[in-house]
Chain A
Amino acid sequence: MAKVIIWSSLKSHTGGEANLEIAAANVKDLLARLGETYPGLQPQLQRGVSVSIDGVIFRDGWLQPLKPDSEVVLLPRMVGG
């Protein structure tokens, strides 16, 4: 089960919990299961998110594989100027 950390203002959609555990093979799978498990996260997921996997930020890496002990941090979709 990957450890998933969401940012604090999303906790209202996960029963007040910022640290979640999701079984997923890759990022695409993880985002889908997050949305299914916590429907309140769907609007943000649709607006776009990036993730950090074990400290490395992935902007679009849906197929990035996850290890059972990966730490995934949900982030707003990265932008730049």
Chain B
Amino acid sequence: MPLDNTESQTRKFKVVGTRPIRPDGIDKVTGRARFGADAVAPGMLIGRILRSPHAHAKIKSIDASKALKLEGVKAVVTRDDFPDKTDGDAALYDVLYNVMAREKALYEGHAVAAVAATSASVARQALKLIKVDYEVLPHVTDVDEAMKPSAPVLHAKIFTDGVEPKPKKASNVVRRYEFGHGDVDAGFKKADVIVEQSFKTEATHQGYIEPHACLANVGTDGQGELWVCTQGHFMVRDTCARLLGMDMSKLRVTASEIGGGFGGKTTVFIEPVALALSRKANRPVKVVMSRDEVFKATGPTSSSSIDVKIGCTRDGRIVAGDATLRYQGGAFAGSPVEFGAMTAFAQYDLDNVRAIGYDVVCNRPKQAAYRAPGAPMANFAIESVIEELAHKVGMEPIDFRIKNAAREGTKSSYGPVYGPIGLLATLQKAREHPHFRAPLGKNQGRGMACGFWFNFGGQSCVTLNIGVDGTVGVVTGSPDIGGSRASMCLMTAEELGIPYEKVRSVVTDTGSLGYNDVTDGSRTTFATGMACILAARDAIKKLCARAAQIWGIPEDAVTWDAGFAKPAGGNAGNFPPMSLKEIAAQAASTGGPIAGHHEYSADGAGVSFATHICDSEVDPETGFTKILRYTVLQDAGKAVHPSYVEGQFQGGAVQGIGWALNEEYIYGKDGRLQNAGFLDYRIPVCSDLPMIDTVILEIPNPGHPYGVRGVGETSIVPPLAAVANSVSAAVGVRMCETPISPPKLLAALDRKSGMKKAAE
């Protein structure tokens, strides 16, 4: 039965919307919190992984005999230890192939063997003794190069899907997507002004501070345990069990604290390897990635190449938009290009729109999700052209966007008609914001961009246990990567009518609760939070029933109000309200423990929009860009813990600024990554940035009892374009490639200077 969420529009909150201290704060600042690498077990071995030095090579043979003879080596695993149990599931087979290379190594860093030894030094020595006979093959790492007919083909089985007729020759183009509606060609005929440009973005890594780490322990009885740093331990359990042929119920997975994920910890890399080593050695095995391994062998996001054409009338109404997006997703199918194509024009109300996407493979690590996967690159291209169009028709970019903004009733570029959405509200708030009126100096520019992300709900399962002292434990299975435990406590306390301090939230293991989807898709505060609310309502029913029994009146004659059971009316009897604590204290004598529970698959997450404003200054001598001021305006539906919402806005903006200005995967001609470390892969740090200003808008989501929308991903969508528009304004040259690094800026300034001189 659908939820009646009409109260979300009018509800007065007592606890939700406050800013209590985070429940995991003390643990994290004192070092008491246990992260992935902190797990230990008696008799533990250290696992290390041998990785391909080649971007593309046939693995002719692997000889581990010398390594196995080394004292202290207890197990070696190779492709032979990972038989294909994927039963025709192509996506799962790709995970298997990525976890341990099979007939070919498909990128530098691809795992080819692993050892478990009594110490890290023995494990490292053993890796050197494993002889791998490679036949090096030609490689390709650029998306446009990978699409050429002459490119080295990674997989003989890829024949481009989504084109007619289906090709008979294998290529690196996995699939073609097309979204849109109307007649684009007819639309362009009505245009007075058309801007057409091409863009490129380089791959970036999520840059989480904590490397992947796990400890596996599999016994001879086939039962196993795994402690792991992940965004989704139920996903880890299911994936590992399927890859290794284990019963899911026999593998118990516990999620550690997590030092960042941002989408990059939504799949498995080292976990099946650690389990296979443990199973073979019959000892616990711990595997911790080095930073070099994190860069080379986990999933960065896609790099992209995008063409955009948008036309509008003289008065600034867009009549047609067309984009072709090419994303490489590393060595396997599955770049998020379809989401790039779907989100590209999602912020505009268009009669004629088309977005074509190509999913491409090349010799790079298998991409993984990164906040709003696929959207930032598309947004960079579209919002850059929007800015150019506005200038060409002589309109303020913000007015141009307001004129064309999607609103309730707009048919979105990806198909559905929008319900209540907050895009216009963010634009109007942006126009009123003091940032928009702040003066700019020499070599300074201002840019803006609007962004969109879908959000989703997914599966959540929550148990809520009421202690006899009236305190409450909320048990969820959603790893806390962005402060969700505080939000779970706030929503539970709000619903039960008790103080926040009386509630504690715990993330439990896979053996103790029903399945929970990965913490991704901006889903946890929305979906797991809603499960907490509904579990609390389940507990309230039971609390009311206990009060009714104690009073000797019918259960339906008792209501719950602000933490107390009360007779529903005068006819129900004259009993003083009984608090949750008083009912709980009598639990043992009135029927036993009191608990609430809810499990479901949540939908109705509600889409999300944001507007960002950026001021920057460019040093024309060095090409260095300084971000002077940055403001994020986003609809949160209802901010459960406003500080965490602001943190999500700021975090997404900062990661987007890094993507725009500094971060990139740099490959040599040999197809090897040149900058696999934080010294050479430069993420922004606090001293690089101003305080990111935030404005939270609260337009209730009708799909949630409190009106909550996910907020974790949308904030990374607009920054690439906002920064690019700002820098382009500062230097007077359109910057079409990220990162907008000093060499690119200086080259652009040189071109501008050259053109100026030629004109003179």
Contact = CB atoms under 8 A, between A and B. Distances in A.
Interface of A: 5, 7-10, 12, 43, 47, 50, 52, 54-61, 64, 71, 73-76, 78-81
Interface string B264-280: 10100000000000000
Contacts of A47: 91
A7 B456 CA distance: 20
Interface string B427-447: 000000000000000000000
Interface in B75-92: 91
Interface string B447-460: 00000001111110
Interface stretch (B212-220, B505-513, B515-523): B515-523
Contact of B179 (A7, A12, A57, A64): A7
A40 B459 CA distance: 30
Interface stretch (B25-33, B66-74, B415-423, B531-539): B415-423
A58 B419 CA distance: 14
B418 A55 contact: yes
B177 A81 contact: no
Given A75-B414, A76-B342, A56 B419 contact: yes
B632 to A, nearest CB: 18
Contact of A9 (B177, B339, B703): B177
A57 B601 CA distance: 13
B417 A71 contact: yes
11 contacts: A12-B162, A52-B415, A56-B416, A56-B419, A60-B459, A75-B416, A80-B373, A80-B455, A80-B523, A81-B370, A81-B373
Interface string B695-716: 0000000010000000001000
Contact of A5 (B354, B415, B454, B455): B415
Interface string B136-177: 000000000000000000000000011010000000000011
A28 B523 CA distance: 23
Main secondary structure of the interface of A (DSSP, over half): mixed
B164 A12 contact: yes
Nearest to A9: B178
Contacts of B459: 60
B262 interface: yes
B177 A61 contact: no
In order of increasing CB-CB distance, the 3 nearest A-B pairs are: A81-B263, A80-B521, A81-B369
Contacts of B371: 81
Nearest to B333: A47
A9 B162 CA distance: 6
Contacts of B713: 80-81
A55 B607 CA distance: 10
B180 interface: yes
B339 A64 contact: no
Nearest to A81: B263
Nearest to B162: A9
B623 interface: no
Contact of B454 (A9, A57, A61): A57
A78 B458 CA distance: 10
Contacts of A81: 206, 262-264, 266, 368-373, 520-521, 713
Given A52-B415, A80-B713, A61 B354 contact: no
Interface string B326-370: 000000000010110010000000000010100000000000111
A55 B373 contact: no
Contact of B339 (A52, A71, A79): A79
Contacts of A5: 415
Nearest to B371: A81
A52 to B, nearest CB: 4
Contact of B703 (A50, A56, A76, A80): A56
A3 to B, nearest CB: 11
A59 B522 CA distance: 13
Contacts of A75: 342, 414-416
A55 B339 CA distance: 17
B377 interface: no
Given A57-B605, A60-B601, A78 B370 contact: no
A18 B713 CA distance: 30
Contact of B369 (A7, A52, A80): A80
A80 B456 CA distance: 8
B342 A56 contact: no
Contacts of B521: 78-81
A8 B180 contact: yes
Interface-central residue, B162, B371, B604, by most chain A CB under 10 Å: B162
A74 to B, nearest CB: 8
B603 interface: yes
Contact of A58 (B368, B415, B603): B603
A9 B342 CA distance: 12
A9 B341 CA distance: 12
